[in-house]
Structure formats: structure tokens, C-alpha cells
Amino acid sequence: MFVPFRPLFPATFALLVVSTTTAVSAEPEPWLVVDVHRPARLLRHELVTSVRSALAESPDFRDRQRTPELERVRGLLEFVENALGVEWESGLDRLVRRARLQGFDPDRPMANVLVVESDSRETQVELLNALAKRIPPLGPLAEQVGSGAAASRPVRIGPLLVAVDGARILVSGDESLLKRVGSETLPAANDADLVLSARLNVDRLRDRIEAEEAFAFPHRDPGAVATVGGWLARIRNGRELHVELRSRERGLEVSASLISERTGDVPRIGGFFAPADSAQPTPLRPTGTIFAASWYRDYARLWADRDELLEAEVVERMEERDGEVRDELKVLGLNRLPSEVVGMLGTDYHVVVMRGESPDYDVHRDERLPMAAVAISLRDEQAFRETFEPVFKVVGLILAGEQKMLVKQAPHGDAVITTARYRDDRGSRESGNALRYHFAPSWTVARGHVVVGSTRRSVATVLEEIERKRSTNVEVHGNREAAASENGFVSFREAAVALQEARPLLVGRAQLEEGISSRRADTELRVARTILEALGSATIRTSTDDTTINVTLVVGHTDATK
Amino acid sequence: MNDEKTLFGLDPETAWQPLFPTPSTWNAAKLAHLHRRAEFGASRARLEETSFVPPAELVASIVEGREDRRYEEDVDRLRETALARSDIRSLQALWIYRMMHSPHPLRERMTLFWHDHFATSHAKVGNYRLMQRQNELLRRHALGHFGEMLQEITRDPAMLIWLDSHTNRVGHANENYAREIFELFGLGVGHYTEADILEAARAFTGWDVHDGEPRFQPQFFDAGEKTILGRTGPWGAGDVVRIVLEQPACGRFLVRKLFAEFVSETIEPGEDVLEPLVEGFRVRNYDIAWLMQTMLGSWTFFSDEAMRHRVKSPVEFVLGAVRELDGPAGPLRLAELCERMGQSLFRPPSVKGWDGGGNWLNSRTMLVRQQTMIELTRGRGLGQRTDPARLVSSRGESGDVGLAETFLDLMLQRPDHPARDRIAALLGEERRRVQRGFASASSVDGELARTAAQLVAALPDYQLA
Amino acid sequence: MSVNRREFLGGTVACGLALPPFLKRAAAAAPKADQPGGDETVLVVVQLSGGNDGLNTVVPFADPEYRRQRPKLGLRTDDLLKVDEELGLHPALQGFADLLEQTRLSIVQGVGYPNATRSHFESMDVWHRATPDETEKFGWLGRARARLGGNGAVYVGGNDSPLALFNATGNPLTVQSLAEHQLPLTGERGRRVRAALDELVADGTPGGHELLEIARSASKSMLDAEKRFRRASETSRSASAWPNSGLAKRLEVIAQLLRADSPERIFYTSLDGFDTHSGQAPAHERLLREVAEAIAAFQRDLESQGQHRRVLILTFSEFGRRVKENGSEGTDHGAASQMFLVGEGLRGGPIGDHPSLTDLDQGDLKFHTDFRSVYQTILEDWLRAPGRDVLLGDFPKVELFSA
């Protein structure tokens, strides 16, 4: 603990006890509390310093900072620097040791109270004196504080009241709240890495009339139910949201939990999140993965529960449409209801973007672009294959006819991958954008999945990865925490390599779009790569249990293996 | 020393003599004039650098240009990138990129002139690679010998398609190219007859384009005797070009056109005044570099009747602004803006090229010109790298009059322009408005610099080169 | 009713009240509204490009030959919007039927020209030049506006402006949207800079050489036009609802310009897609609906502005279509067709007979009214321009307007 404060501590503690005990009855509870602990630490974090030093190398970034909006921010920072006589980072550190923002009424911004605690009273006095020169109404405040008064009377500036108490500045639009909060002490962080923690009472927010609509379940919108319905149901059910930001040694971590304990008229939306007893989709991360996301969703179950999730009229229309779409799709050789097709799909969805090579065309392209694939697990692979084989044939014919593509099938192990290629004879090369020679859309049905990718290689790689996971990941089940419903992964390092591989394209684009020389474009590219390398990778993991959704995002060098 | 006006244009003996530099004949305004006409303008840094060079030497170095291998390699790559995108805008942007970055800007400026002279449009040719190939041809000969350029353009695939040479066969002559080589490319109206056109069309038979290359097919060539401009023989395409080049009208036609393009759009010099140039051009085998060096270094070029006596074409307008504001700026967007101002590169309205001069300016194109300047001086988007704020923060001007003078000097070389006080007064009002809150002095000056540049760009003088 | 209105408006002006510009103009136009063609009359041309199938637009349902020639495309008599005992409008033309009811729609039947060409481009050029003479470089409205005191014309559309509007003094103003004609100067700073531009350009001491003078006057007219467009886009949109179609959007731009006091008296826009060689029925229905709904909305807007008396709308297409439908449920290029006129002071209803369905010219309807007769009537009786000079010939007038 900081030494000069120790003698004060018991006194403030006593005050706190008094205030909390008196507040029990009629005093309003805050609906929002944000605590900040030494925020300037973030500026010194390795991730941030390496990004900032990389940016300093970029002439473009320097130019971009000269926008009128940023000029205004810079004006403010310059002011801090002049007022405290230090550069703004350490000025900020001295000014904000801790801070707390409390909101007491979501409808009244004036019912917010901000408390900022500085390192020392001296810092406070310096800043106030300087501020008073710019903002004349602050004069009396500066005078009071300068004269040595421990706590000042609040001074009004516009709609706000500002008071000084020891090394703390308090700002609010509400005098009684200001007084009440002024007597509270700011809590210390309960763990050393915590930089920011926020607590938001969702109940209070939801109770507001205008929020009602935003929280309403989209009973009339099947698309919304399928994409975000589960989330909405949880949020609707939510009681409290916690957000925490931690500055870890190797990276930054943001975690958010939504606790929902309310019960009520929210529809049962099974199938949206992985049930606790189900196998979760294991993320596919073949070598060279730049981005991977995997999630669980049981569309068959959502469809089965449609009567509960959607209004009767909407359900009726969907069922009608189901039949119509089947009739429309007959031209493609598909004689199934869309709902039947959904029933063939499994519950695991994967998207993978990875570094890769361009497909084999006669057209030589200097750059290499990432390739991407989507894989969806199947409940009944055989039925799906039989249903879609004729469809794939028709699609192949259409591609060959309208897009003038060549459609070929080739085995990959025991799977068969179908690939559509652009023609690259002289006539075709001369017309149309040459970037298409990075693509050769491919697909297959194998290993319990349907896989569609931008190139044949991407489909093959994903198939191999599915196979690898299947053979190595059997033991994962068992001692699990809450099932992860969604997993995301970004490798900034691989992205940096991909950026370098795409260099000819990016530099050419910068020349034509920005007018900068290739030399300067290379500088910018180098800066971008340095930043990406500094960021390392990011993972996002969402898990759910009966009462809570936890989302954790970690950015930094946390993933040593890949 | 005599006043240059008495020398101007009237006396063939002196009109083309090199400028003798004195403080009144050679100053910042004249220097900027030279760069503006020959190189699409100059940045402040370039002006400072060249202000120490005597005019004759400077003109010679502008005509000569610099070699830069890295730039050439860069452009070779970029050309493939642009062609791979397969749209006209990318080709236009590629060219604007070259105008912006070329170590030899006069070559790009001349290429633009020849594109207007041999105006060929992608609208009919319909092949990006062939359009680009013609552009390279024009660039290769832009400061070379006109005769060689005329010979090559006659066999250029884009030109063959543009003027229907592929349908010009023995027995079915198509006069299109024959007419234009006389009327628009080589001689001008009045120096040939309809009969000459008919005969020349026969001589041009037999050429078409095969697989992107020019091809001569003897079976479609009319091998008979033709009489063209008084010369009789079994002439082919090359012979017609040779006969055109032998005509005295050829040099006169080109010199007059180049005079209007580079010296003045308001004066029509007499034959006798141009004659020394015409003669020199002819005896030097139509050496364009010699002609340009003589013209750009002359008294006449630097006379008051030449300064700001030309309407900036859209391309000159945007490039000039980008240079003055020390950009670069995005070529794709600039190409689009040029098109909206009436100049779509690779798509001239007809074989006559752009009408130019006062025709560039009407209510609609003026609007786009102003919109462009506002975009370029906004400090973001297209104008991210042409921010006027940068030009003052690095020099530390302050005061409203100082700011007004800075931009009147930079953009018009007239710090004492009659609009100065009014602009300063407007900046003063604006200063009082923005000087609030935590705005630092330099950010206020930056904001005012943007306003100042926008106001100067709105002055009618700014439309003139 | 019109008398009351005139008295009312005239009275207010006499009282010296400050009137908004549209009312002022309505007042100025009103005294002449009994007689079409006051000094301030406006013509709006809607070009239907591609060759509209006139036979399925205004249908001679009583003629049994119609059904014989149009076994698949023929419209059911019950569906038609009856004009009289013999004619019916396509069911998509409800907007026109309403206008017909109010005597604000005239249908000039059997319009065409001698030796008609069936080429889109050639025929369109004939309609634009108003002469088959290919050496004529300018259009009929271009020639007309040259004689209307130097008033400009506005083309609203994305493509190049039509030949019809060209004259020796140059191109008409081309507008796609009002926004693109404004300087991107917004907010407090923008307003100040904008005002400063006016001052700087207006202030420039005249003189200097000719190019400087051109630059100065171009700057001035740009700033004037910009101001006009800004005002037009700032004026509140009409309370009357506009349908959501391309043609409606373009006509709305014209309505906004009229509201903003534009000095132009000739406006032009077009709708493409009438070249219905196959699968005509749904496409034709959609197009006709777009035309009728957009023009009806335009009328409503004009009426709410009090400007409907001074605006005449004219539609034309480069040709009609073959009487006999083709094998792909479409129709091929034809000849004579009808023109629609919309506005106050029209005679209303059909003018002239529907051409015979049996007495044909190579399978196409024969014209009995030269389109230049319609032009001549509009030029002289509506725009008050010398029809003979503009049309380079004399054509008998058609009785379009009520006496």
C-alpha cells in the first residue's frame, strides 16, 4: 500500500461503513459501476509499446493523425503536458491512479458520478491551476484547493459540479449524489493485473421502456432467431453483465460474463448453444491458419421448435415457403424440402482462413492470397451425398456454361473433391480480372462433413485436419468446464506472413488507390507486419452453462505452439 | 534592357531567343510557370531546388529528364497489375501515377499531348492491352522524332482498329485513316484534296490486327499506282507517311499546335513568327526535344501573354494541385474526377481529341473542380497526403494575412493578389470561431490553412495554367 | 374553380403578403391558366426507350382482330380500364385512368412519321432531331430553347443527355441527383466557406483576358446553380407520397427543381426497357405501372406546389411494335403508336382514331398524325415558340388544348 495513505485508511473505512449503512434504505443503487486502476499501465504494456513504436515508423500514420478530429485530442494532450510539465503518458499516470464512474439512473446522464484519484494532492493543485486558466469558472476551486482546504465546496461548470477532496476530483451533475459518493472510498483492485472492471445491471437497463424493444425476442424474424436468437434470449434473461480487462504479462485479456437468472416468458431455445453433455466442435487449425472459428448450432432442433420460437403466422409462411423453395430447387435436381436438408446437417460449423498456394493456372500471379474453407458436420453423410450429387452436377454444368469454367473431379484419399476452374486460354486471360486465377472453388462430402473452399488445396487441408482431430482428440471429453459454444482464433503472425505474400497485390493497390510510391508502400507494409507480429494471436472463447455466458478474449503471445 | 512586351511575338528574330535572366524576367512566378506548363507543376521543395538553376540549364534538364531504374521496374510491375484489373479506370490511374512520380515529367506531359493529337478511344478499340501499348508508343516517341512516331502509329494495333484499317482492303477502300492523317495528324485542313484522300486510302490497304499484333496481308493490298500530294508511285502505308512528312505544311501544323498547347491559347502568332521554329524543326528531322527546348526556353514562353494564358485541362488541374500541396493522392479517384471534369483518359470524345481551352469550363465542370479541391484540402480521404495544414505547421506561419499570402504564393505566385485582404478577413472570422476549447495554436493554423487553400482554389485565376 | 383560385392568389399578392416563391409563380401563371401557354409554361418530356407496345397500352378491345393478332399477349377485356366503348387502358395504368377522369390526360393516337425506320437509334434520332435529315446536328428542344430567351434545359438521368436538347450553345444541364450538384461544404465551417466563395468570385474585378473572363463567369454560374440545387434539396419534400421507382425518383428531382424556382422551362427524362421481344407481358406491365404511378405522383406533387397549371408532360417512344405477336410471347419493332399528354387545360381523352388493325404497312400500324404536328402544337400553343423555325417546316396543328 502507498505509505502516505495508511494513516488515512481507518478513517475512510469508517466513513465507508457509515455511508453504506445509511444508504441501505432509500439511497439508489448504481446501475453501472466502472472501476479503473492505473490505466496508464496499458500504455506501457509491451503490446501497446511495440505497436506504438511500429506506428511511429509510418509516415502515413503521422499524416493520418493530422485529421481535424485528432488535432483536437492532441490539443488536449498538449494541454496536459503543458500543465504538468511532463509528457502526457506519465502525466496521465499521475493524474489517474484510480477512477470510478457510477451511474445511478440510465435515463439521466447527470446522475453519473466520476471520481478520479491522483497520485498526490500536488499534482491535483498543479492541474487545477492550469485548468483554471482555460476554464475561468474553475478559478474558485483552484483557489480553495490552493489555500489548503482539505475538501472544496463543489463548483458549478455548465451543467456539472466539480469538487476536490484530497487527491480526488469528483464530477457529477447531481449534488446529493456527489456528496454521497464523495464520502466513499475507492476500492483497491482485487488482483494485480486488473485494469478495468465494469458491472452493469441489465435488469435496470431493461426495465426502461425504450429498451424493451431492443430486448424483445424476434418472434417474427426467423433469420434473427437462427443467427442471434440464443444470444437475445440470454440477454433478455440477463441480470448482470461483468466486463474485466486485465493486463497480463504476455498479453491483454478481456472477459465478459452475462449472468442470467431470471425466468419468465423467454422461449426455450434449445439447439442454439451446445448442451453440457454434447461434444463441442473442436476448432480446426491446420498449419498456416490465419483465422479459424468453430461453433455449435443445431438447426434441426431450432426448426423442430419453431412453434415455440416464432409466431404461428410466421411459422405457417415458412412452411409454405419450404414447399415453394423445394419446387424452385427442382431445376437444380434437388427434390427435398429445405427443412429436410437442414435435418441432414450436423451441429458443428467451421470456418478456416489459411495461408496457401494459388491453384495451378497458366496465368502466373506474383502474389499469393490466403484460401478459405467452410466445413459443416453431417448427421447422415450418405443421405446428404445421395441428395446433393445430382445438384453438384447441375451446378457444375451452370458454372461451365455461364461462367465458362471447367469442372473436374479428382480423388483425395478416399474422398472425391470437385473443383471448378476458370479457363486460362489466351482469350479468357485478356478479359476479366486476373485475380480470379487465385480461386478454384471446390467442394466435397467426406469424413462426416461437407466442405466448400476457395481452392482445392483448402478443401483437402480441411479434410486432413478433420481426420487428424478425429484420431487425436478422443480423450478431450470428460473433465470439461462449461462447453464452449464458439471458438475463435486469429493468428496475427500468420496474417503478417500472408501480408508479405500478398505484397505485389497490396503494393500495386496502394499505388493506384493512394498514389504512394512502391518504396513508401513497402514501408507501410513493413509497419503493418511489425504490428501484427507484435500482436501475436488472439483467441476468443464463448462458453455457456445454465446461468452464465462467458466470453474471453485474449490478445498477445499467449499461443506458443502456433 | 527592353521591355519584353515589345519583343514579344512580333519579331521572328527575337521571339525564340533564349530568355536572358534578370530579376524582372526570371523570378518565382516565371519559375512556377515553367514547371506548371512542362511538368504539371512543382512542389515547394522542387521550386526551391530549381530556383538556383539558370533558366536555359533548367529547361535543358527538364527536356532531358532523369533516369531511374527502380521507377521503371516499378512501373513495369504496376502496368501488369493495372492490366490484370481489366478496367479502364485502372489504366487511367496507372498513367496518373506515372505523371505523379515520373523522374521525367515532361515526357508524361508530352505523352498526354500526343494522346490528344492521335486521339484513340477505348470505347471503340475495346482492348486494354492495345490501348496501353499505344500509350507506351506515344511515350517512347514523345520527345523523339515525329516522323518515327507517325510511321509507328500508322501500324499501331489500337489505331488500326480505331480508324477501321482492318476493313480497308483493295477494292473496298476505307478512307478513315487516310483522311485523319492529313486533317488531324500531319497537315491540317486545306493542305490536301479529297482525291489525295482516296488515293492514300488505297495505299493504306492490306493492314489489320491479328492476335494483338499489326499484320500486313499482301493479298488485300492495292499495289497499283497512286498519286498522293503530287507524287505518283505504287505507294504503301510507309510511303504516305513519308510524303506527309515531306510537306512544308507538316512542320507548320505541329508547331502551331504545340504553341497553343504550351505557350498561349489566346494569341495566334503569324506564320512569320513561327517560321524559325518550323524551319529548325524540319532541318532537325522533326526533333521534338529540340523544338520543346527552344520553345520552353524562349522569351515568348516567359512573356506576360503566355503566363496564365491557358486553361488547365482536368489532368493538369488535379496534378498541379497534388504537386502544389506536396501530395501524392489516389490516382484511381483522380482519374474518376478528371472524367467528371470532361477528360477521361484513353476515352477522348472523338478522333479530334478534346476541344480544350475555354470549353473545359462550364458550370458543371467548375463544380467538379471545386469539389475536387475541397476533397484534396480536407486532410483526410483523398486529401490525406495533400493536407494544406502540413505546409504551414512545418513552416510556422501564423497570422491571417500571412496564411492568405502563403497560399496565394503557393498556388498563384501572387502573394499580393487583390483577393488577399478579403481572404485574410475571412480567415480571421474563422480563427475566432475555431479558437476554442483545447485547440492548440498549430491545429488552429492547420484548420485555417485548409480553408485558405480552398478559397484560393476558388479564384478564377486558379483555373489557368 | 380556377377563377376562384386565381382571385385568391391575385388577392394575396395585392395585399402585399410575402409569398413563398412557388405561390408567387402560381399567382403569376394563374391569370393565363385559362389559356394554356403562359410565359412561364414548362414542358417535361418522358422518353420511353426501346419502342413501347402501343397496342397493348391503349387497347382497341372492340376490334376482334386484336385478339386474332394477339392470341397470347392479348389483354382480357374485363381487365382493361375503359376509356370509351372501343378503347381500354392497360390495367397497370390506373394512375392514367384517374388522370383521364380529371380531364388531365390526352391520348394522341396513330402518331408516327413517313418512311419510318425500325432501327432504335435511327428512329430515336428522327424523333430527337424532328427531321429525317441526318446532317441536322441539333435537337428540336435544343432549337426551341435557343428561341426561348436563352433558357436552359435540364436532363435528369444517368446517361448522356439526349440529342433532343442539344443546340449550338452547348449541352443541357445533366442531373442524376441533387446531391451530386452540391459542394461538400456542410456544417458551420462549410457555410462560412460557401459564403466566402460567393464573395470572392462576385468580387473579382472584371477584366483580364478572355480566358480569365470565361473562368470567372463559369465560376459564377456554377455557384448560382449550386445554390439552386442546394435550395432544391433543402426544400421539404412533397407531402404526397412518391412510389419507389427509378422514373419516380427522376421526376421527383424535377419537382424539387421546380419548387426551387428553376428558370429552365424544358425538362427531360427517360425510362428504358420497352424493347420487349420476348416474355413481354410481365415486363410491359411493370414498365407501364412505373410510368403511370410516377407521372400521377408527379402531378400530385405539382398540385401541392400549386404549379400543375404551368407544367405539361409529354411521353413518346421511338416506335410502336408489330401488330402480330411473335413466337416468344413478345413483339418486334413496329411503327405508329400513341403519345400521352398530361396536364391542365388539355382536351382530355383520345385524340384521333385508333389506326386500323387490318390496313397495315408491312405488318405495322399506319400513322395518321405526324409527331411533328404534336410538337408544333406544343411549341406554339404551350411554349409560345415559333414552331416553324424550330421544326424546319410547317406541320398542321393538332387540337390538344381545350379552347
- For the cut 50, the answer to whether the pLDDT of residue A370 exceeds it is yes
DSSP, collapsed to helix, strand or coil, labels residue C201 as helix
Minimal Cα–Cα distance from A82 to chain B, Å? 11
H-only helix segments in A404-491: 426-430, 456-472
- For the cut 50, the answer to whether the pLDDT of residue C34 exceeds it is no
More confident residue, C134 or C21: C134
A433·B85 Cβ contact <8 A: yes
- For the cut 90, the answer to whether the pLDDT of residue B151 exceeds it is yes
| B218 and A CB contact within 8 Å | no
What confidence score (pLDDT) does residue C32 get? Answer: 41
Average pLDDT for A309-313: 89
Number of cross-chain residue pairs from B and C with Cβ atoms under 8 Å apart: 99
d(CA B344, CA B349): 9
Contacts with C152 from chain B: Cβ below 8 Å: none
Contacts with C197 from chain B: Cβ below 8 Å: 370, 455, 458
More confident residue, C13 or C246: C246
Is residue A76 classed exposed, middle or buried when 0-12, 13-18 and 19+ CB atoms within 10 A define those classes? Answer: middle
Out of A278-282, B178-182, B344-348, C232-236, least confident range: A278-282
- Of the residues B74, B131, B210, B438, the best mutation for testing chain A's interface (the one with the most A CB atoms within 10 Å of its CB) is B438
What confidence score (pLDDT) does residue A184 get? Answer: 79
More confident residue, C30 or B102: B102
Res. A113 pLDDT band, cuts 50 70 90: very high
Res. C239 pLDDT band, cuts 50 70 90: low
A324-to-A302, A318, A320, A337, A384 alpha-carbon distances in Å: 20, 10, 6, 9, 21
- Of the residues C181, C198, C222, the best mutation for testing chain B's interface (the one with the most B CB atoms within 10 Å of its CB) is C222
- For the cut 60, the answer to whether the pLDDT of residue C16 exceeds it is no
- For the cut 50, the answer to whether the pLDDT of residue B304 exceeds it is yes
Contacts with B81 from chain A: Cβ below 8 Å: 504-505, 508-509, 511-512
A-contacting residues in B 283-342 (Cβ below 8 Å): 322, 327-334
What confidence score (pLDDT) does residue C26 get? Answer: 40
CB B100 within 8 A of CB B331: yes
- For the cut 80, the answer to whether the pLDDT of residue A5 exceeds it is no
- Of the residues A67, A71, A509, A517, the best mutation for testing chain B's interface (the one with the most B CB atoms within 10 Å of its CB) is A71
B461·C212 Cβ contact <8 A: yes
pLDDT tens for residues A421-471?
998 887 788 777 888 999 999 999 999 999 999 999 999 999 999 998 888
Average pLDDT for B313-333: 97
Q: What is the DSSP string of B171-183?
A: TB---HHHHHIII
More confident residue, A91 or B358: B358
Best-predicted range by mean pLDDT among A293-297, B245-249, C121-125? B245-249
Contacts with B379 from chain A: Cβ below 8 Å: 66-68
Average pLDDT for A390-417: 86
- For the cut 80, the answer to whether the pLDDT of residue A151 exceeds it is no
| B40 and A CB contact within 8 Å | no
Is residue C383 classed exposed, middle or buried when 0-12, 13-18 and 19+ CB atoms within 10 A define those classes? Answer: buried
- For the cut 60, the answer to whether the pLDDT of residue C27 exceeds it is no
How much of chain A, in percent, has pLDDT values that exceed 90? Answer: 31
pLDDT tens for residues A22-52?
333 456 788 999 999 999 889 889 889 999 8
A-contacting residues in B 386-415 (Cβ below 8 Å): 387, 389-390, 393
Chains that touch A (3 or more CB pairs under 8 A): B
How much of chain A, in percent, has pLDDT values that exceed 70? Answer: 88
Minimal Cα–Cα distance from C291 to chain B, Å? 29
- For the cut 90, the answer to whether the pLDDT of residue C55 exceeds it is yes
d(CA A247, CA A251): 6
Minimal Cα–Cα distance from B344 to chain A, Å? 16
More confident residue, A67 or B134: B134
Q: What is the DSSP string of B199-222?
A: HHHHHTTTEEEETTEEEE-GGGS-
Minimal Cα–Cα distance from C185 to chain B, Å? 8
B421-425: long-range contacts at Cβ-Cβ below 8 A with a sequence spacing of 24 or more?
B422/C199, B422/C200, B422/C203, B423/B452, B423/B455, B423/B456, B423/C196, B423/C200, B424/B400, B425/B400
Average pLDDT for C17-34: 40
What confidence score (pLDDT) does residue A120 get? Answer: 83
- For the cut 90, the answer to whether the pLDDT of residue A269 exceeds it is no
- For the cut 90, the answer to whether the pLDDT of residue C379 exceeds it is yes
C214·B361 Cβ contact <8 A: yes
Minimal Cα–Cα distance from A303 to chain B, Å? 44
Contacts with B334 from chain A: Cβ below 8 Å: 515
Contacts with B459 from chain C: Cβ below 8 Å: 200-201, 204
Average pLDDT for A194-201: 93
Average pLDDT for B411-432: 93
d(CA B194, CA B197): 5
- Of the residues A512, A517, A520, A523, the best mutation for testing chain B's interface (the one with the most B CB atoms within 10 Å of its CB) is A512
What confidence score (pLDDT) does residue C7 get? Answer: 38
- For the cut 80, the answer to whether the pLDDT of residue A268 exceeds it is no
How much of chain C, in percent, has pLDDT values that exceed 90? Answer: 59
What confidence score (pLDDT) does residue A559 get? Answer: 56
Number of Cβ within 10 Å of residue C134's Cβ equals: 10
Minimal Cα–Cα distance from A124 to chain B, Å? 19
Report chain A's mean pLDDT, rounded to a whole number: 82
CB C12 within 8 A of CB C6: no
B438·A508 Cβ contact <8 A: no
d(CA B236, CA B203): 4
Query: Measured between CB atoms, which of C188, C189, C212 is closest to B460?
Result: C212
User: Which chain A residue shows the shortest CA-CA distance from B330?
Assistant: A514
DSSP, collapsed to helix, strand or coil, labels residue A24 as coil
Contacts with B437 from chain A: Cβ below 8 Å: 72, 75
What confidence score (pLDDT) does residue A558 get? Answer: 63
Number of Cβ within 10 Å of residue B462's Cβ equals: 22
pLDDT tens for residues B251-300?
999 999 999 999 999 988 989 999 999 999 999 999 999 999 999 999 99
Task: Read off the pTM.
Answer: 0.80
